[in-house]
Amino acid sequence: MTINLDTPKKFRGFIQQAHEVADNFLRANSRKYDLAEHAYPKELDLLASLIDGMGDSGAGQGAGAAGVRRSEDASEKDKGKVKNGTNLSSVLSIIEMCWGDVGLLLSMPRQGLGNSAIASVATDEQLEKFKGTWAAMAITEPGCGSDSAAIRTTAIKDGDEYVLNGEKIYVTSGERADSVVVWATLDPKLGRAAIKSFVVPKSLPGIRVERLEHKLGIRASDTAVIVLDNCRVPAENILGNEEIDTKQGFAGAMATFDNTRPLVAGMAVGCARAALELTRELLEDAGVVIDYDRPATSQSYAAATYLQMEADYEAALLLTLEAAWLADNRKPNSMEASMSKAKAGRAGNDITLRCVELAGSLGYSEGELLEKWSRDSKILDIFEGTQQIQQLIVARRLLNLSSAQLR
């Protein structure tokens, strides 16, 4: 199979719509909700309803979190054919939306990372059961950051229910969402293999929001500490299979990331593109000429720096599209998902910071959004697996080593 790098024709109208939404809804309210941290962006209710309607009608082309579901079924006539599906369209739409504002995208009702997890690994019955829910994702704990396998939140079977106990931190949309996808261990002695994810409605007794965090960036999005205190969750709310497979190990739980990491990479790509476009305008207004027909070494420092940033942006974009394309075509993409997340996360942060530097006082002030984009971009190199974790995963895949062999 080969990848055509042009945007698929069937997505172009949808991508243009996403860009207009990003411009008129998200970027238009970007500074407002950056300054009003923890205030709920009411403007997003209408937008979320529109996306829900597009998804229900089939016109959404993978809009929102539901677009990351990977189908393993293929008819005989489709086998061997290149497919541009919902993973790719979701990434392309997210790039446009984060060109508008990352924090507001993360605040979209029913489009949380927990929804991506449900869409990725839930059974058909669970997809119907949790349709319409707004799900946050709760993985990180006070004593467990990058090492998801070190989770200490427990889930003990009691009849037809699981009793969950533990504390989760940095839960995006933890207060606003109506349910939380909680990662917990069924048996701490069995290590990684016993970790499962549960859909926990916040209406259940025993789950509470302890506090909201004040943050460097994505301030429009609420980030919560959530405590589970003898929270009883129906057994059917465990995503996928509740049996512990020691041979499969942690792979089942981690499979979620193969679909969600390209989405986060797309967020970084979109934010970086916004910074590049504005910086180019500011440089040209200042008389800086960026010449693609001359070596960077023979141009001004500002022009040479811009060309280098643009090359990093293109590399991040292509890796992100490849990871999504592989998922659409039912090919393993674990390494590519981590590569896209690692490259886009770092490049996005580097690009936005250097754009602030190139723009001088305009970049550092609130007169432009450059300083905000540099703050927002930092989290995209951290959540869904830090830069260092992504590099470790890629190294394991390239060297064909297990997590026990390469730590």
Q: 210: Cβ–Cβ under 8 A, 6 or more apart, which residues?
A: 167, 224, 225, 226, 227
**79 in a structural domain:** yes
Active site residues: 384
What is the CATH number for 172?
2.40.110.10
**Residues 18 and 95 placed together within one structural domain of the fold:** yes
Interatomic CA distance for residues 155 and 138, integer angstroms: 14
Reduce the DSSP state of residue 239 to 3 states and report it. coil
Bridge partners of residue 158, in order along the sequence: 161
**351 in a structural domain:** yes
What is the CATH number for 387?
1.20.140.10
- CA 75, 2, 274, 290: dihedral to nearest 10 degrees? -170
Domain count, the chain: 3
Q: Which domain holds residue 300?
A: 251-399
Give me the pLDDT at residue 120, please: 81
Select from 88, 105, 129 the last residue of a domain.
129
**Residues 178 and 285 placed together within one structural domain of the fold:** no
Residues of the chain with pLDDT under 50: 63, 76
DSSP annotation of 141: B
**2 in a structural domain:** no
**Beta strand residue intervals within 175-254, DSSP E:** 179-185, 195-201, 207-212, 223-234
Give me the pLDDT at residue 1, please: 58
Interatomic CA distance for residues 7 and 4, integer angstroms: 8
Neighbours of 300 (CB within 10 A): 15
**245 in a structural domain:** no
Pick from 67, 205, 213, 201: which is nearest to 140 by CA? Answer: 213
Select from 85, 113, 129 the last residue of a domain.
129
Q: Contact 111/224 with Cβ under 8 angstroms?
A: no
97 φ, ψ (degrees, to nearest 5): -65, -35
**Residues 103 and 139 placed together within one structural domain of the fold:** no
- CA 158, 164, 165, 166: dihedral to nearest 10 degrees? 160
Interatomic CA distance for residues 46 and 48, integer angstroms: 5
Report angle CA 272, 326, 218 to the nearest 5 degrees.
30
Angle, helices 370-379/334-359, rounded to nearest 10 degrees: 150
**Residues 259 and 394 placed together within one structural domain of the fold:** yes
Query: Long-range contacts made by residues 278-285, C-beta under 8 angstroms, separation at least 24?
Result: 278/355, 278/359, 278/368, 278/369, 278/370, 279/306, 279/355, 279/358, 279/359, 279/363, 279/370, 280/306, 282/358, 282/359, 282/362, 282/363, 282/368, 283/358
Rounded CA Rg of the chain: 21
Bridge partners of residue 200, in order along the sequence: 180
- CA 237, 243, 245, 246: dihedral to nearest 10 degrees? 100
**Residues 40 and 174 placed together within one structural domain of the fold:** no
Select from 129, 164, 192 the last residue of a domain.
129
**Residues 30 and 93 placed together within one structural domain of the fold:** yes
**Residues 110 and 164 placed together within one structural domain of the fold:** no
Give me the pLDDT at residue 246, please: 57
The DSSP annotation for 64-81 comes to SGGGGPPP----TTTTTS
Interatomic CA distance for residues 397 and 239, integer angstroms: 26
Neighbours of 367 (CB within 10 A): 11
373 burial via Cβ count (<10 Å: 0-12, 13-18, 19+): buried
Helices (H), 156-300: 251-285
Interatomic CA distance for residues 154 and 163, integer angstroms: 8
Overall size of the chain counted in residues: 407
Give me the pLDDT at residue 121, please: 83
What is the CATH number for 68?
1.10.540
Neighbours of 39 (CB within 10 A): 12
Please state the pTM of the whole predicted model.
0.92
Residue 258 token pair? 């193969």
Residue 371 token pair? 């300083």
Give me the pLDDT at residue 119, please: 85
**Residues 320 and 348 placed together within one structural domain of the fold:** yes
**Residues 200 and 257 placed together within one structural domain of the fold:** no
Q: 20: Cβ–Cβ under 8 A, 6 or more apart, which residues?
A: none
Interatomic CA distance for residues 70 and 85, integer angstroms: 9
DSSP annotation of 38: T
Strand 195-201 with 179-185, pairing: antiparallel
